[in-house]
Structure 1
Amino acid sequence: MSSSLKRKKTGAVDAAFNIANYLIFGIFTLLCIYPFYYMVINTISANDLSAAGAIRFIPRGIHLENYKALAQLRGLGPAALVSVGKTVIGTVLAVLVSAFLGFMFTQERMWGRKFWYRFVVITMYFNAGLIPMFITMKNLHLLNTFWVYVIPTVVQPFNIILVKTYVESLPKALQEAAEIDGAGIFTVFWKVILPTCTPILATVAIFAAVSQWNNYQDTLLYIIDQKLYSLQYLLYTYINQASSLAAMVRNSGGAAMSGTALMTQQTGTSIQMTVSVVVVLPILCIYPMFQRFFVKGIMIGSVKG
């Protein structure tokens, strides 16, 4: 009887724990989702209500004019192609280079392995600064070219460390068996190591893609040709122009300008949120595809054991 009562108490405690657990994580999930939901409903609601902060949970005066206005922005199409191109090419190269260097740094026969590994890692802690970086890009003839988006971001020490740690956790017998069969170092890397590193490579791909997609400062620093503007930089300038225009009209004075100032401010607020949604949405769509690899890759790639 006492054993049955004990099991009932244990079951009740487990049920209460599960309910509390689901409740806490459910609230936390809603808190994470709400900011993006708030932006979305404000982009499709009446601009005056959005600027006044009247839209909190339910959209009102639903319309798509903000997205239509954004789509009519000059240069949006080429800028989107540039952003997609630099993200795809930059991510692929970053993954391949991180995978190869991470693998090579596990090979004891590599000449100067410890020196080169420390040489790469030390760049995580020391940065030459903006001016030396600009001079370097100029001397490499990368200024105002598409490749200035890609080449400086190919070697990422943190990603190399993740891959190196992951490769060290793999059985050495895999490489030894391939070498006994006559495989060279590149064959071992391409046909043995690379297929077994899917989780950590997916993790590196997420880091590289997010960094490439969100970056607009490289355009600001190195690009003059408008044909090479990235989507993020173009939208960044558009936000600043909308804010500056609203402030200029608002501060110009006079009752005749008050209506224009109010309209400009209302439109600027909605457009800013629309821009934020457009920039964030692609990453939100891509991340779930790699999520199942992401957790495993971080756990195995960050701790050896």
Structure 2
Amino acid sequence: MKRKPSERIFDFFNAFIMIVWGLISIYPFWYILVMSFNTGADAAAGPIWLFPRVFTLENYAFVFQYDRLQSAFIVTTLRCIIGPVLSVFVTMLAAYALSKRFLLGRKTLLFFFMMPMFIGGTIISNYVVIAKLGLLNNFLVYVLPGAFGFFAMIIMRTHIEQLPEELHESATIDGAGYVRIFFQIILPLSMPVIAAFSFFAVVGNWLDYYTNLLYVTDRNLSTLQFVLYEIINRAEASSLIDFTKTTDAAQRRLMSMANNTVPTPEVIKMTVMVVVTFPLLFIYPFFQKYFVKGMLTGAVKA
């Protein structure tokens, strides 16, 4: 079909607006990446737009030379593996049980699970609960409190209710119990929902440093986010030292910073942001195809 001039003009402006909007959305990430590869003193001298003016890898060397970074990465990786697996498994079990309308006290359980969404505990009350459970300075504090999520359970329950009832009836006739039906029928058919919420759980565990800040003082259990937070604070503290009140070693450190050999707090922040977000950007494409399908299959009531 021959297109009208007005349609071509509309398509041109539509594509132009989308390209501009895409560049505006991408540029902040590009700016952070560029700043992380530029020397701190040069970055402080003037704005950097597209490419590093004085390229350096010292910013990353400064971050990765931190002695606790390796152990923190191991702790965070274990948390991002154990936490999502436990969370999805517990939530799916609850969703499967609550999808049965003959379950005794079903509405009462739903009301009980829904209350924390509207009435949350304070920092002090949460700390007391964690302490009473013996989770202070315990790795389980990273995975047990987030093992159940009501919102995710509602989506998963709705998805399970949309599955054909004939599957349950045929499996029951063949002698399968609830456990076998759950593992051999419900879980395989729920992979899009499981993949979507697994990624959400991974992101939440990866980016969380609040739990470490409140409940963990053992340095061997520090998470990656908390250690990077300490690196930023240390860099900022180093930049605020007064020349007249420092030792010779501190003075030499400040002089080297002035000579571009030590990163400034600003570029350290940018470098830390790259280190934090790069793993998530790497695994996101593998889960992207499950997002829309996984959320819609459980969010739309059939």
TM superposition score normalised by structure 2 = 0.90
Q: Secondary structure at the match of 2:200?
A: helix
Shift of 1:22: 2.9
| Equivalent pair of 1:200/1:301 in contact (CA under 8 Å) | yes
Shift of 1:250: 8.0
Please list the CA deviations of residues 24-79 of structure 1 after superposition, one character each: whole Å capped at 9, or x if unmatched: 23222222221111111111122222233431111222121111111110111000
CA distance in 2, matches of 1:27, 1:102: 43
Shift of 1:290: 0.4
Q: Give the aligned CA root-mean-square deviation in angstroms.
A: 2.2
Shift of 1:245: 2.5
Shift of 1:241: 2.0
CA distance in 2, matches of 1:81, 1:194: 29
| Equivalent pair of 2:62/2:263 in contact (CA under 8 Å) | no
Q: Which residue of 2 aligns with 1:208?
A: 201
Q: Structure 1 residues 157 and 53, CA, compared in 2 at 3 Å: closer, same or farther?
A: farther
CA distance in 2, matches of 1:251, 1:104: 68
Q: Which residue of 1 aligns with 2:301?
A: 304
CA distance in 2, matches of 1:252, 1:304: 68
Please list the CA deviations of residues 220-243 of structure 1 after superposition, one character each: whole Å capped at 9, or x if unmatched: 101111000001001112112211
CA distance in 1, matches of 2:98, 2:190: 15
Q: Which residue of 1 aligns with 2:30?
A: 37
Q: Structure 1 residues 21 and 165, CA, compared in 2 at 3 Å: closer, same or farther?
A: farther
Q: Which residue of 2 aligns with 1:293?
A: 290
How many pairs are equivalent? Answer: 295
1:105 paired with 2:102, answer: no
Shift of 1:94: 0.9
**What aligned pairs does 1:273-288 form with structure 2 within 5 A after superposition?**
273-288=270-285
Q: Which residue of 1 aligns with 2:221?
A: 228
Q: Which residue of 2 aligns with 1:167?
A: 160
Please list the CA deviations of residues 75-103 of structure 1 after superposition, one character each: whole Å capped at 9, or x if unmatched: 11000001111111101111111222112
Q: Percent identity?
A: 35
Shift of 1:273: 0.8
**What aligned pairs does 1:59-78 form with structure 2 within 5 A after superposition?**
59-78=52-71
Q: Which residue of 2 aligns with 1:157?
A: 150
**What aligned pairs does 1:134-145 form with structure 2 within 5 A after superposition?**
134-145=127-138
Q: What amino acid does structure 2 have at the position aligned with 1:8?
A: K
Q: Structure 1 residues 13 and 185, CA, compared in 2 at 3 Å: closer, same or farther?
A: farther
Q: Secondary structure at the match of 1:224?
A: coil
**What aligned pairs does 1:234-273 form with structure 2 within 5 A after superposition?**
234-249=227-242, 267-273=264-270
Shift of 1:259: 5.6
CA distance in 2, matches of 1:159, 1:260: 51
Q: Structure 1 residues 13 and 102, CA, compared in 2 at 3 Å: closer, same or farther?
A: farther
CA distance in 1, matches of 2:117, 2:259: 47
| Equivalent pair of 1:51/1:270 in contact (CA under 8 Å) | no
CA distance in 2, matches of 1:111, 1:266: 62
CA distance in 1, matches of 2:127, 2:45: 43
Shift of 1:249: 3.5
Aligned pair partner of 2:111 in 110, 115, 118: 118
Shift of 1:252: 6.9
| Equivalent pair of 1:216/1:230 in contact (CA under 8 Å) | yes
Shift of 1:139: 1.0
| Equivalent pair of 2:168/2:181 in contact (CA under 8 Å) | yes
CA distance in 1, matches of 2:236, 2:128: 33
Shift of 1:185: 0.8
Structure 2: gaps of 5 or more residues:
none
Q: Which residue of 2 aligns with 1:4?
A: none
More displaced stretch, 286-295 vs 108-117: 108-117
1:82 paired with 2:75, answer: yes
Q: Which residue of 2 aligns with 1:92?
A: 85
Q: What amino acid does structure 1 have at the position aligned with 2:277?
A: V
Shift of 1:9: 4.4
Q: What amino acid does structure 1 have at the position aligned with 2:2?
A: K
Q: What amino acid does structure 2 have at the position aligned with 1:152?
A: P
